[in-house]
Structure 1
């Protein structure tokens, strides 16, 4: 039975800033169902450390820079059947703010140390520090875990392990780039600071470490796997990705339908499903009351659940907002991010009380209410590796309006005349990233909304879509098998 160590900086529901946490929580169970033996390694952030039970020390983790202490623990977390490894280093992880930045959004100056140590702990597990379990595959997620691939390559060179590595790119735009003089803190051979290694335009890149040293690379949708090999979306790494195209695989993220199901969601005002969507009207009315929107069943309600960043296409939303409101629509926004976007959405709320509402942070309960109560989910991202918002929107009958890139292009079928006639349309897609193209898609939303029977058919088709983890897990099983043969 293949043993797979998943390495992630986040884990739903204990610690989440985006979709990475959802993937880290759902994939291990899917792998176990596929016949593998997965375990998790996560940093000892306060929410995780406080939830850990049956904890026992596996061993110390030496800090390459000398001072401080860290211990690798094994224990249990609520909701997870598999054992969890936690890198316990209070001096590095027991801090306020997000996992990566302080309360005012400034990245921690020692992030290179914090996440280098995560990679080093993964390598120690690959070397057999836990006598009861040693991974065959170490699967590192995003730049925070990228150094696991480099450390394990160094361990293999010293014949301390035979473990193979898989590196998943969740978002190539976030690369973990640090000053060159930080390399000495990473605990890696000096030769690894090179073009054929971590060096990236005179700096150190954790993302490049994963891409260069991993035995296999995956990313979170087939279209994104192609896009990141281009200069437009390669963020300076497209040449390396083209060079490694033979081991690069696009595997679409899945949805945990035990959590995301309007028929069984315990926080909703009313249950509903694709066969009987009557309860969605009650969810919409409840959301309007909860958020202080005018309780108008005939007003199409648009939802945004997102980090408020330019990447998410939110400038397009703001530019077209007057037209959306003049046509009778409403907008609810949940998220935090760039200060200027937060200010713009707050100003829109002040100008249009009862029509626009903005809520801050990542409120999981309210997010479920927005998916259930909205008629449309806006996901006009400039680029989008996979996207989970549109998948949740499909499941809850909130038709996604998306820019046709990455996973958005792979999961949403545009409401063209042909697809409407074939009952395969599930949302609205625009291809050029322009205000004009977005505006045309928005007008098509209102045109379909004016035909309730057609809208109901598209909504039912959307809700019938299935993007579960079973198929994704099977693809990962295949990738692991190939990596072990390399």
Structure 2
């Protein structure tokens, strides 16, 4: 099969979040299974500074009304996969991908409307006629629409798949602020008031809609979990499915991890104890091997469960426990964490920072990993935690529910601790169960740790599932 993979970021090239992980891993896995994948993405300033790629063909032009958009096509290589980057300096030669200092660019809708169309023009230019055009998140959600109105015949046999990585980000903008789309009068019937919602367009025009875990797909079909798009998903219910993301174990393996003080594996966990002492020292907590350490690395946002965490911190600090949180984001959340860390310096550490090294140190050195998300389409940190024998404490939402089995509910398959209700009381109760489990049943605790370390979610399996989805639409 020929797959045109349209995405706004790709790990190893340019990255702001988990979307980039998929942008790299899924095309690689599909290629390893014998299929031809070409990635199309914007040629951001960060890419230009890193690679200084050459144009592979003369400049191309897209017309919209009386406006002409002349752009170049650069070629990069991602472990043997062809990556074509759309070079339109006015839109992509900027400091950030989507924002400058946390302020979203006001013309993001215009930038990515152009990109969604330019991706198709790129495929035509190099005469790559795809069986599947695979689009990802709101940045590329207009591509299925552009396929549907293409009158060249080039995409007559192409089918479109739209993957939702996080339905909370929908790309909703006032239509009058999107000059590129002004000649598309038919879009007036698609507006909510005066706004065009890009994710809605993806849902309406793609042949298949896919979410990044089976449980998240089910949540999108409910009023509560649909991010206010319930009617849209219900209309396309038979075309909505979920495929669990894989995990890149080449980067997340305690046996080979270069970022941790001592490597370890499932049949010899002694290195994990050294990693615990190392992260305790790193964040300024007492180096006590017998005190359970709960780690957390994330963006400081409500999505990550801080609405449940902050109200219970004082109560949690009354227990024999250490808590280490690393992350940046909402300044109000940051202030509360700083206050608690100052009040309980031997029990709580907060590092307002992010680094790959510290993220790996937390995963390796903690006994538990805290991930009580309000919603979580798939989640990767719980997969990393399992690989490192760090038992996840999660809420039963999205991909967390698909990947973590509770020690009480499913003792034979248990890999962590799970709670349901979106409340601080439910979270505190779950953490207390975790602490009791740690202190009172060392033999069973180690058994669950070892089971967690042998629980893998591979991109090869995910790619096979995507191929089945592609075949179903072809």
Q: Shorter chain as normaliser: what TM range?
A: over 0.9
Say whether residues 1:471 and 2:464 are aligned partners.
Answer: no
Select 2:155's aligned residue among 148, 158, 161.
161
Cα distance in 1 for residues equivalent to 2:259 and 2:67 = 47
Q: In the alignment, does 2:181 pair up with 1:182?
A: no
Pairwise CA distance, 1:26: 0.7
Distance 1:477 1:68, change over 3 A: same
- Report the 3-state secondary structure (helix = DSSP H, G, I; strand = E; otherwise coil) of the residue aligned with 1:260: coil
Give me the whole-angstrom Cα distance separating, in 2, the residues matched to 1:362 and 1:220: 25
2:331 corresponds to 1:339: yes
Aligned in 2, Cα 1:246/1:443: closer, same or farther, shift over 3 Å?
Answer: same
Q: Report the CA distance shift for 1:60/1:210 in structure 2 as closer, same or farther (over 3 A).
A: same
Partners of 2:148 and 2:51 in 1: CA distance = 30
Q: In structure 2, what is the Cα distance between the partners aligned to 1:69 and 1:287?
A: 51
- 1:54 and 1:215 mapped to 2: Cα distance? 34
Measured against aligned partners, the alpha-carbon deviations of 1:184-236 in whole angstroms (never above 9, x if no partner) come to 423663213324xxx23441111111111111111011111111111112122
Contact conserved, 2:130 with 2:155, CA < 8 A, in 1?
Answer: no
For residues 460-486 of structure 1, the C-alpha deviation after alignment (integer angstroms, 9 at most, x for no partner) is 1111101001111011111112222xx
Q: Report the alpha carbon displacement of residue 394 of structure 1 after superposing the two structures with TM.
A: 0.8
2:35 and 2:378 map into 1 onto residues whose CA distance is: 24
What is the SS of the residue equivalent to 1:144? helix
Could you say which residue in structure 2 is the equivalent of 1:138?
133
Query: Are positions 1:481 and 2:474 aligned together?
Result: no
Judged with a 3 Å threshold, the aligned counterparts in structure 2 of structure 1 residues 208 and 295 are, in CA distance, closer, same or farther, namely same
Moved more, 323-332 or 276-285: 323-332
The match for 2:389 is: 397
Q: Does 1:226 align with 2:212?
A: no
CA offsets 1:331-359 (integer angstroms, 9 cap, x no match): 22222222211222222223233432333
TM-score normalised over the length of structure 1 = 0.92
**Structure 1 pair 268–181 and aligned structure 2 pair: CA distance change class (3 A):** same
Is the partner of 1:194 in helix, strand or coil?
helix
* Residue of structure 1 equivalent to 2:125: 129
Question: Secondary structure of the equivalent of 1:86?
Answer: strand
Work out whether 1:74 is the aligned partner of 2:71: no
- Residue matched to 1:112: 109
Provide the secondary structure at the position in 1 that maps to 2:448: helix
Matches within 5 A, 1:283-362: 283-362=275-354
Q: Is 1:33 matched with 2:32?
A: yes
In structure 1, list runs of 5 or more residues that go unmatched: none
Deviates more, 1:59-68 or 1:377-386: 59-68
Distance in 2 (CA, whole Å) between partners of 1:86 and 1:66 is 25
Match of 1:431 in 2: 420
Give unpaired runs (5+ residues) of structure 2.
none
Aligned residues: 471
Q: Structure 1 pair 17/154, CA: closer, same or farther in 2 (3 Å)? A: same
Aligned equivalents of 1:150, 1:113: Cα separation in 2: 15
Residues 278 and 66 (structure 1), Cα distance of their counterparts in 2 relative to 1, 3 Å cut: farther
Report the 3-state secondary structure (helix = DSSP H, G, I; strand = E; otherwise coil) of the residue aligned with 1:83.
strand
Alpha carbons of structure 1 residues 256 and 54: separation in structure 2 relative to 1, 3 Å: same
Once structures 1 and 2 are overlaid, which stretch shifts more, 294-303 or 171-180?
294-303
Identify which of 254, 257, 260 aligns with 2:249: 257
- Partners of 1:52 and 1:75 within 8 A in 2: no
The answer on 1:9 being equivalent to 2:22 is no
- Report what 1:99 is aligned to: 97
Query: 2:383 touches 2:457 (CA, 8 Å); kept in 1?
Result: yes
What RMSD, in angstroms, separates the aligned Cα atoms of the two structures? 2.0
Aligned equivalents of 1:206, 1:188: Cα separation in 2: 17
1:63–1:117 Cα contact (<8 Å) kept: no
Q: Matched residues in 2 for 1:434 and 1:32: separation?
A: 43
* Separation (CA, whole Å) in 2 of partners of 1:265 and 1:449: 25
Aligned counterparts of 2:50 and 2:65: Cα–Cα separation in 1: 29
For 1:425-458, what per-residue CA distance to the aligned partner results, in whole angstroms no more than 9, with x for missing partners? 1000001111221111011011011032221111
TM-score, normalized by length of structure 2? 0.94
The answer to whether residue 441 in structure 2 is matched with residue 454 in structure 1 is no
2-side partners of 1:187 and 1:63: how far apart? 12
Do residues 419 (structure 1) and 410 (structure 2) align?
Answer: yes
